[in-house]
C-alpha cells in the first residue's frame, strides 16, 4: 500500500492526472467493505493532514484526493474523484478557486465542509 501511494505521487509529478487515474483503475480489486476502507483512509488522513508532512510533501488537495482515491478504490461500491471550482469575489476582481475531493456512493468523504454546495463539479472520475 505504501509503495502504491509513493508511486501515485511520483507518477503525478512526472505524468498527468489521467495516467494516475488509469493506474488506480488497473490496481482496484473492488472487494472491500466500506467500514474497512474508511478505517484505513481515516488513518491515512491523520498522517497526510499533519502540518509537517503536508508541507514537506507539498500535498495539495488533488494529491491528497488521489491518495484517498487509491485507498478507497477497492471498495465494492461507487468511488469518485471529483474536481470542482467556485468563484470568489473581492473588491477589485473575481478569483476562481479549485478543490479536489473523493466521494463514496455520491457522499463527499474526509472533508471538513460541504464541498458539494461550495464548489461546482467540473470533473468526475468514477470507478
Q: Is the pLDDT of residue 1 over 70?
A: no
Answer yes or no: are the C-beta atoms of 102 and 75 closer than 8 Å: no
pLDDT for position 64: 84
Q: What is this structure's pTM?
A: 0.77
Phi-psi region of 99 (alpha: psi -120 to 50; beta: other; left: phi over 0): beta
Residues 57-77: tens digit of each pLDDT: 667 888 889 888 988 888 888
Residues 9-58: tens digit of each pLDDT: 777 777 777 788 888 888 777 777 777 777 778 777 777 666 666 666 66
Select the more confidently predicted residue: 82 or 24: 82
pLDDT for position 51: 65
Neighbouring C-beta atoms of residue 64, cutoff 10 Å:
20
pLDDT mean across residues, the chain? 82
Domains of the chain, residue spans? 2-126
H or E, element range at 41 = helix 34-48
CA angle 6, 52, 15 (to 5 degrees): 30
Answer yes or no: are the C-beta atoms of 75 and 37 closer than 8 Å: yes
What is the percent of the chain with per-residue pLDDT over 90, rounded to a whole number?
A: 26
Amino acid at each position: 500500500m505504501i509503495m502504491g501511494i509513493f508511486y501515485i505521487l511520483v507518477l503525478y509529478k512526472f505524468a498527468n492526472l489521467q495516467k494516475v487515474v488509469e493506474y488506480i483503475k488497473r490496481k482496484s480489486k473492488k472487494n472491500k467493505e466500506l467500514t474497512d476502507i474508511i478505517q484505513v483512509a481515516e488513518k491515512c488522513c491523520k498522517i497526510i493532514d499533519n502540518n509537517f508532512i503536508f508541507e514537506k510533501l507539498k500535498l495539495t488537495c488533488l494529491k491528497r484526493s488521489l491518495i484517498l482515491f487509491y485507498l478507497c478504490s477497492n471498495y465494492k461500491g461507487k468511488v469518485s474523484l471529483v474536481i470542482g471550482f467556485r468563484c470568489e469575489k473581492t473588491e477589485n476582481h473575481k478569483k476562481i478557486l479549485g478543490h479536489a475531493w473523493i466521494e463514496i456512493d455520491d457522499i463527499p468523504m474526509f472533508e471538513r465542509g460541504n464541498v458539494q454546495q461550495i464548489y461546482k463539479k467540473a470533473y468526475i472520475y468514477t470507478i
